[in-house]
Each structure stands twice: as structure tokens, then as C-alpha cells.
């Protein structure tokens, strides 16, 4: 009987649990059909944000620094989401901005509240799922391939 068998088993369980938690902090950058789905989700969310801003500006919404700041945040985040740059950060920023728009006294009408809440939910979903393989984030922070030169360090035969 091994006296420390229980301690070793407990250490393995703790390591495994910590490893699963740490893995969830990073995006997996899926490609193929899931990556295409994330691309479509990012593009549709970005276009919706930009179209709301342009429609609001062309309709002559009440001007001021607060509505302008909200619209500027939404438009810039829309462009970042379409490009797939800083996707988790922009997703959370858009969610906060859309909730702010929905609950703000500066909002134009109460009928748009549910649209802004839906955009907030979609942006949180994009932030949690990540950008996908077809994004700038994937090129900057995605999977890395390391080619190891196995001939280096070997002695040549005489």
C-alpha cells in the first residue's frame, strides 16, 4: 500500500480543474462552418450598429455631447467588430453602450428599447464566443505554428 496515494490523486484533480478553468479564458478561433458563423455574426452586428448610427444622424436626433459619444462608441465598435479586432473588448463595450442607450433618457423612442437590448445580448455573445479564424484577432493572437528544425544541434556524420 502506498501511503501518499491519496495526496497524489488530490493534486491531479486540482490541476485538472485549474487547467479547464484557464482554457476557457482563451478563444479557440474556430474555422470552417463555426468560423463562418462567427464571421456572419460579427458582420451583421457591426452593420446593425453602423446603420443605427447613420440613421440616427440623418434623422436629426437631438444633438449634444452625450448622444454623440454613444453614437461614436457604437460606430467605432461596429467597424472593429467587422474587422474582428479586439473582439471580446469591443463586444463588452457595445453591450454596455447599448444598455446605456436603451435606459438613457436621451433615447429617441421607447419602441427601440428591445432592439438595443437584443444588440447588447448579441454583442455579449460575440465577446464570449470570440472572433473566429477569419479575423484580425486570429492573425495577431491566434494559433501559432512553430517549425522545429530537428537537424540543428545534430552532429554531422564524417
- Angle CA 54–60–63, to nearest 5: 100
* 0.75 surpassed by pTM: no
pLDDT in tens, 99-114: 998 888 776 666 688 8
Mean pLDDT score across all residues of the chain: 79
**CA dist 120 to 125, 133, 157, Å?**
9, 23, 65
**CA dist 60 to 4, 26, 115, Å?**
74, 42, 20
Q: Could you tell me the three cell numbers for 116? A: 438595443
Q: Could you tell me the three cell numbers for 61? A: 436626433
pLDDT in tens, 115-137: 999 999 999 999 998 888 888 88
pLDDT in tens, 10-62: 555 454 444 444 344 456 788 889 899 999 999 999 999 999 989 888 877 66
SS (HEC) of 5-34: HHHHHHHHHHHHHHHHHHHCCCCCCCCHHH
Query: Which residues have C-beta within 8 Å of that of residue 97, sequence separation ≥ 6?
Result: 70, 73, 74, 77
Amino acid at each position: 500500500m502506498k501511503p501518499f496515494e491519496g495526496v497524489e490523486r488530490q493534486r491531479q484533480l486540482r490541476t485538472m480543474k485549474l487547467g479547464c478553468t484557464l482554457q476557457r479564458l482563451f478563444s479557440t478561433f474556430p474555422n470552417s462552418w463555426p468560423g463562418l458563423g462567427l464571421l456572419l455574426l460579427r458582420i451583421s452586428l457591426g452593420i446593425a450598429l453602423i446603420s443605427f448610427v447613420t440613421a440616427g444622424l440623418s434623422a436629426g436626433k437631438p444633438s449634444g455631447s452625450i448622444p454623440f459619444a454613444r453614437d461614436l462608441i457604437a460606430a467605432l465598435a461596429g467597424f472593429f467588430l467587422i474587422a474582428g479586432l479586439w473582439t471580446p473588448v469591443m463586444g463588452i463595450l457595445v453591450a454596455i453602450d447599448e444598455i446605456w442607450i436603451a435606459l438613457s433618457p436621451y433615447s429617441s423612442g421607447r419602441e427601440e428599447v428591445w432592439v438595443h437590448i437584443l444588440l447588447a445580448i448579441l454583442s455579449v455573445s460575440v465577446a464570449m464566443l470570440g472572433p473566429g479564424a477569419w479575423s484580425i484577432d486570429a492573425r495577431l493572437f491566434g494559433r501559432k505554428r512553430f517549425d522545429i528544425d530537428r537537424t540543428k544541434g545534430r552532429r554531422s556524420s564524417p
